A and B are shown apart, each in its own frame.
Chain A
Amino acid sequence: MTIPIRLTLNGKPHAIDLDDPRVTLLDLLRERLGLTGAKKGCDRGQCGACTVLVDGRRINSCLQLVASLDGADVLTIEGLSEGDALHPVQAAFIAHDGFQCGFCTPGQIMSAVGLIREGRAGTDPERIREGMSGNLCRCGAYAGILEAVKDASGRMEHREDAA
């Protein structure tokens, strides 16, 4: 028996006949839909590398069963830019060297987009650090990540179409 699931993924409708209720959103994206931007770090909700937005909120896609997601709106790193125009958070990560190896970066960026949408941190470094604590970076690029999020957050406060 399959479970029929309808998703909006990066703005496009998808219909999926789920043959196994164990499939997580992360595995659906990576293994079945070819979207490998969200990364499998710990696969247990501890590292944040798999962060995506579901219905506008950042979550760990490795702990989210697809079976529960019928009707959801999913945004991954692949859907963030508008064509070649980078999202302000993406541009800020480049401008501030917010990464080294890059493995955690899609999760960091999606988490930062979520944080800015939540409106909790603004440009306060302490609140940004706290708000980003669910994303680990084993290269230790935290100083650059903080600057990138602060910069993007400040810029996006002045834009109506914030993310």
Chain B
Amino acid sequence: MIRFDYTRAASVADALATARQPGTAFLAAGTNLVDLMKGGVTNPERVVDITRLPGLSGIEALPDGSVRIGALARNSDVADDPHIARTYPMVAEALLAGASAQLRNAATVGGNLLQRTRCQYFTDAVSPCNKRQPGSGCAATGHATRLHAVQGWSDHCIATNPSDFCVPLAALDASVEIEGQGGRRSVKLTEFHLLPGDHPERETVLEPGELVTALTLPAEAAAFAGHARYLKVRDRTSYAFAVVSAAAALTLDGGRIGQARLAFGGLALKPWRVTEAEGALAGKAPSPEAYAEAARIALDGAKPSGEANAFKIELARRVAVRALSLAAAGTPARIPALPASPFGIV
């Protein structure tokens, strides 16, 4: 880790003022940032500690029925919040399927949104990587790509977004609240992360110096509480990133699907929501055929970014079908012992 200047921000305005200087990173829990700094992947000259900012760690049910989660709320606090667990159960399930208890106790919601890809050619700090060093090339392409993207990738970057949490957030129309020198703005979570295109070094819509201050889950998303699941397929039963995951949610009305929501993790550099597949489910009887058709539509246009990840396309279809079946069966009263696991659900 290279030496950096450390300042502790007392207010959001204070944090934003310091962050105007280039080479500045915001520090919350540091579970991703400190790891990257230790590995020499990220080398900020200045670190602004935002952990003391007042009013950013609460989870608040608002009068309009939405829920506002402060950016400094810990992953475990959100997962354990009774209102979140009751109203947006797949958000809690996805959080509990991520990382380890120690990391969830520290890691913040804002940090989860901004965590970097785990592409091994990005994190090794030395391979050519257009994300880490624009213009240097992509060492992943043509090499070990088992966990790389099958949707939305470009010739410049084939990495995936590692977050579990963001997948149900995308499905449920969550918004991200952002503060900058120009004031406050809000963007949909589905529009927060950028696809790599020609500029994989740009990962989100955040402008330099802007700060994520909160997340909002809309009141309408509560309609899915009774039929919402997160399903995560990974190389170990616990404490591993998704190979493919899916958040599936339904409303059921007189034996028919009212609305559906479907988003995937592990497929692209952003949580991959597929509204066309959701639309295809509306009005159908909940059946394996309807789920298979939705899954087919959801993976339309998917393309392997390497020989080793072609399997993820069929895997994603099967994960979608299973997640939709589980959602139709109903949200369990208690999150299973193995959250989001295909093995924990019988």
For residue A58, which residue of chain B has the nearest CB? B102
* Chain B residues whose CB sits within 8 angstroms of the CB of A51 once the complex forms: 102
Q: Are A59 and B105 in contact, with the CB atoms below 8 A?
A: yes
Is the interface on chain B under 10, 10 to 19, 20 to 34, or 35 or more residues? 20 to 34
- Minimum CB–CB distance for B160 against chain A, Å: 19
Is the interface on chain A under 10, 10 to 19, 20 to 34, or 35 or more residues? 20 to 34
* Chain A residues whose CB sits within 8 angstroms of the CB of B1 once the complex forms: 22
**Contact status of A67 and B238, CB under 8 A, knowing A58-B105, A60-B102, A118-B101:** no
B222-256 vs A, Cβ < 8 Å mask (1 yes, 0 no): 00000000000000011100000000000000000
Q: Which of A7-15, A28-36, A41-49, A85-93 participates in binding chain B?
A: A41-49
User: Cβ of B11 < 8 Å from any Cβ of A?
Assistant: no
Question: Bound state CA distance, A45 and B35, in angstroms?
Answer: 8
Q: Which of B26-34, B167-175, B258-266, B285-293 participates in binding chain A?
A: B26-34
**Contact status of A63 and B101, CB under 8 A, knowing A44-B35, A44-B38:** no
When A and B form their complex, what is the total count of cross-chain residue pairs whose Cβ atoms lie within 8 Å?
A: 91
For residue B105, which residue of chain A has the nearest CB? A57
Within 8 A of A (CB), among B127-167: none
Q: Are B4 and A126 in contact, with the CB atoms below 8 A?
A: no
Within 8 A of A (CB), among B27-68: 27, 29-31, 34-35, 38-39, 47, 49, 51
Question: Bound state CA distance, A58 and B102, in angstroms?
Answer: 5
Question: Bound state CA distance, A65 and B51, in angstroms?
Answer: 11
Q: Are B4 and A68 in contact, with the CB atoms below 8 A?
A: no
* Chain A residues whose CB sits within 8 angstroms of the CB of B38 once the complex forms: 43-44
For residue B37, which residue of chain A has the nearest CB? A22
Q: Are B102 and A21 in contact, with the CB atoms below 8 A?
A: no
For residue B97, which residue of chain A has the nearest CB? A130
Interface of A is mostly: mixed
User: Cβ of A78 < 8 Å from any Cβ of B?
Assistant: no
Chain B residues within 8 Å of A, Cβ to Cβ: 1, 3-6, 8, 27, 29-31, 34-35, 38-39, 47, 49, 51, 76, 99-103, 105-106, 237-239, 337-339, 344
Q: Could you give 15 example pairs across A and B, Cβ below 8 Å?
A: A21-B47, A22-B4, A44-B39, A57-B105, A59-B103, A63-B29, A68-B30, A68-B49, A68-B51, A111-B101, A114-B102, A124-B337, A126-B337, A134-B100, A135-B100
Given contacts A67-B8, A114-B105, 6 further A-B contacts (CB under 8 A): A21-B3, A22-B1, A44-B39, A58-B105, A60-B103, A135-B100
